[in-house]
């Protein structure tokens, strides 16, 4: 009887864990979808789109209309970003450098900066 109860408890716990994993996956997918829509809307409404990869990476392909300001040069080229309230979308290869670029810009007073993630995440 003990082994039957233990087996039943394990099945219940496994079912609950699977359900929780599914809810987390749906939540993350929805959040990512909403973020993508926000990025798409910002770009379509004229946000400054900045590729923070190296010039070599930029020349191998980039989002139409994007400018290239490598992460290492952002603080030296703040004047290129213009109005501190203007929408800005930064992106890189994976989202790591653009995350750092967003933090730099926000620390310098830019108020409407979004991390677009990696090049593959950006609108085509």
Domains of the chain: 2-121 (3.40.250.10)
pLDDT reported for residue 18: 77
The pLDDT tens digits along the chain (124 residues) read: 556 668 788 888 888 777 777 667 666 666 678 888 999 999 999 999 999 999 999 999 999 999 999 999 999 999 999 999 999 999 999 999 999 999 999 999 999 999 999 999 898 7
Polymer length in residues for the chain: 124
Phi, psi of 92, deg, nearest 5: -145, -140
Distance CA 97, CA 102 (A): 9
Distance CA 42, CA 56 (A): 26
Cite the beta strand spans of the chain per DSSP E. 48-51, 67-68, 88-92, 113-118
Distance CA 110, CA 96 (A): 19
Contact 67, 53 (CB under 8 A): no
pLDDT reported for residue 6: 81
| Backbone angle region of 117, left / alpha / beta, with phi > 0 → left and psi within -120 to 50 → alpha | left
Distance CA 113, CA 15 (A): 41
pLDDT reported for residue 1: 52
pLDDT reported for residue 9: 81
Please state the pTM of the whole predicted model. 0.77
Residue 74 CB neighbour total at 10 angstroms: 20
Catalytic residue check, 15: no
pLDDT reported for residue 25: 64
* List 92, 105, 119, 122, catalytic entry: 92
Distance CA 47, CA 101 (A): 16
């Amino acid at each position: 009887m003990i082994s039957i109860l233990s087996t039943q408890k394990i099945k219940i716990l496994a079912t609950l864990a699977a359900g929780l994993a599914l809810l987390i996956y749906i939540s993350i997918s929805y959040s990512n979808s909403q973020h993508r829509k926000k990025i798409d809307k910002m770009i379509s409404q004229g946000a400054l789109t900045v590729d923070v990869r190296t010039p070599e990476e930029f020349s191998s392909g980039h989002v139409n209309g994007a400018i290239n300001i490598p992460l290492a040069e952002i603080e030296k080229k703040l004047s290129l970003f213009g109005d501190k309230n203007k929408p800005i979308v930064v992106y890189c290869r994976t989202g790591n450098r653009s995350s750092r670029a967003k933090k730099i810009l926000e620390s310098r007073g830019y108020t409407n900066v979004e991390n677009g993630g990696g090049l593959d995440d950006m609108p085509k």
